[in-house]
Amino acid sequence: MPSQEHDIVIRGGTIVDGSGKPPFIGDVAIDGEWISQVGSVTGSGKREIDATGLLVTPGFVDIHTHYDGQLIWSEYLAPSSNHGVTTVVTGNCGIGFAPCRPQDHLSLIELMEVVEDIPEPVTSAGLDWSWETFPEYMDAVESRNHDIDVAVMVPHSALRVYVMGERGVRRERANADEMAQMKLLMREALDVGAAGLGTSRIHVHKSTSGELVPTFGVSQDELITLGSAMAEAGKGVFQMIGEVTGKGPTGDFDIMCNVAEKTGRQVTFTSAQTSAAPYQYRDLLTALKAVNDKGIKVTAQLFPRPIGMMIGLTATANPFCMAPAWQEIVDLPLDEKVARMREPEMRRRLIDEAPGEPKHPLFPMSRDFSQLFSLEVESPNYEPDESTNMQAQADAAGVPVEEFVYDKLLEDGGKNLLIAALGNFALYNLDHVVEMLSDPNVVVGLGDGGAHYGMICDASYPTTALTHWVRDRDGTRFSLEEMVKTLTRDPAEVFGLNDRGLLQPGYRAHANLIDHENLTLFRPEVVNDLPGGGRRLHQDAKGYVMTIVNGQVARENDQPAGALPGHLLRGPQEPQLA
């Protein structure tokens, strides 16, 4: 009898299968969209891939992104797909574009403009608004091929405005009829495959006009009503970003626990270390254990490096963008802007003028000079020594810090970028990440791909995880098998995507072949490839030899391979086990 022929056979790689078990040398066979054999594959492959010396891992899963608009105007969910990510979840924080009536297009665009830093000209040029309802939006997403898989949550702000109109924008309390209508629409969305509901209760989320997001401060009754739609459907995750960073996990944490307890659904929320309470995460871990020990499913999401706002003349923010004089040069081409900034009079004005009212709530963070660092072009250090922050360097040089940073921004023809650590770096180290990611009630998240186009470029975190946390860090590290499980199986399970995150027979054929020894992350750069010529921060890596999505090679040697095998995931996913 002739041996079986497979579509793809990956030979002789170091398999890190996502289960947390130690790596081993072996083969992986793929047939169609599924893994058929792992170990020693005797059959041949229509395509044989020599993986000797390479890691073979499941595709990475990022459960916190904002590709709601990019899904409509682009086939590529980059930067995420550049860094081994093969599955993303979007619709987080309650911000998105469906459901939406035509008269409310601008309201949702303005929310996305400030909350997620996606400029209005980009969304106006990129969205065709071929939908009104959430099911129609799902169909629009599915009608375009993409490079990786995506699951979509219902954005609570969009849902609220759709049902309540201006009353929803003004954050008025929903009446019984309005809550019933929201529940009905939520159930309709779940029936067509929505992954759950995203919402926000955080005060920095505002629209262009400065208004808080429509979901800020909504009643527990409304949240529980929407959660009850998930309970009745038997599926769906409740995602929230809230105020859980005080001296103990109270307030919004209690609300999330109540929602999880009364609906029986998984709740997951964003968590970060803050300067105001750098050890509060330990109280949070204790509270999470107590809740989960009762069978109430609440999971924190932690970003595994400093949450970084990029600072520069090509970025959205810099320390001088709030000076009145900045308005005279803000719209100039870069070379003209740099020339004006080199003029002694403009330099004096930008440095000496008192900052005015910020146009974005994060702008003042660009002047927290003790949390501002340089980034190397190749292998940027996301755990820099305290002595390298801008304030410390300026003090050592005997130069006022504003002067020091001003000159830094003019380097490389004005293209130089600095990073401001917005969170997770209060003590100038990442030791808390070890403690938190080792906790069973914490998963990795917050890549934020598809958002913060001119401010944040954090979707590259899987590459940081495999280099800094596994290979390069001075101090405690994670084992390779621990980190791969953290990037794959753990986040997949939170959203019921049970068919991925493991290299085992019957699971989705999502895989990365990685040259781990030479894996390199590059500094973010600004590219102009958005609709209408809009600019965004983009970050590349080298060392991803191949990324396979649903049995097709989507990327090869750090470049798109031509195939667009991504699927819209409608609801929970299960493996094909014998």
Give the closest residue to 500 by CA, choosing from 105, 491, 55. Answer: 491
Domain(s) labelled CATH 3.20.20.140 in the chain stretch across 61-305+433-451
Task: Using DSSP, state whether 346 is helix, strand or coil.
Answer: helix
Query: How many Å apart are CA 35 and CA 55, to the nearest integer?
Result: 17
Query: How many Å apart are CA 261 and CA 292, to the nearest integer?
Result: 10
Rg (CA), the chain: 23
- Compute CA distances 252 → 213, 242, 271, 283, whole Å: 16, 6, 12, 15
Question: Which DSSP letter does residue 469 get?
Answer: I
Query: How many Å apart are CA 560 and CA 47, to the nearest integer?
Result: 18
Q: Taking the domain 61-305+433-451, which CATH number applies?
A: 3.20.20.140
Query: How many Å apart are CA 547 and CA 83, to the nearest integer?
Result: 9
Residue 384, token pair as written in the block: 């820099």
pLDDT reported for residue 376? 85
- Give the 3-state secondary structure percentages of the chain, helix then strand then coil, rounded to 5: 35, 20, 45
Pairing verdict, β 24-31 and 34-39: antiparallel
Query: From first to last of its 578 residues, what are the pLDDT tens digits of the chain?
Result: 346 899 999 999 999 999 999 999 999 999 999 999 999 998 999 999 999 999 999 999 999 999 999 999 999 999 999 999 999 999 999 999 999 999 999 888 887 776 777 888 889 999 999 999 999 999 999 999 999 999 999 999 999 999 999 998 888 999 999 999 999 999 999 999 999 999 988 766 655 566 778 888 899 999 999 999 999 999 999 999 877 754 445 678 989 999 999 999 999 999 988 888 899 899 999 999 999 999 999 999 999 999 989 999 999 999 999 999 999 999 999 999 999 999 999 999 999 999 988 877 889 999 999 999 998 888 899 999 999 999 999 999 999 999 999 999 999 999 999 999 988 999 999 999 999 999 999 999 989 998 888 888 999 999 999 999 999 999 999 999 999 999 999 999 999 999 999 999 999 999 999 999 999 999 999 999 999 888 899 999 999 999 999 999 999 999 999 999 999 999 999 999 87
Give the closest residue to 98 by CA, choosing from 52, 44, 46, 136. Answer: 136
Residue 526, token pair as written in the block: 């600004």
pLDDT reported for residue 2? 45
CB count, 10 Å around CB of 39? Answer: 12
Query: Buried b / exposed e across 161-185, counting CB within 10 Å, b at 16+?
Result: bbbbeebbbebeebeeebbebbbeb
Query: How many Å apart are CA 59 and CA 261, to the nearest integer?
Result: 32
Give me the sheet containing 372-374, strands edge to edge.
Answer: 307-311, 418-423, 372-374
E strand or H helix at 507: none
E strand or H helix at 407: helix 401-410
Amino acid at the residue 233: A
- Residue appearing with tokens 């924080």: 93
Give me the sheet containing 60-62, strands edge to edge.
Answer: 60-62, 85-90, 149-152, 568-569
Residue 440, token pair as written in the block: 């069973």
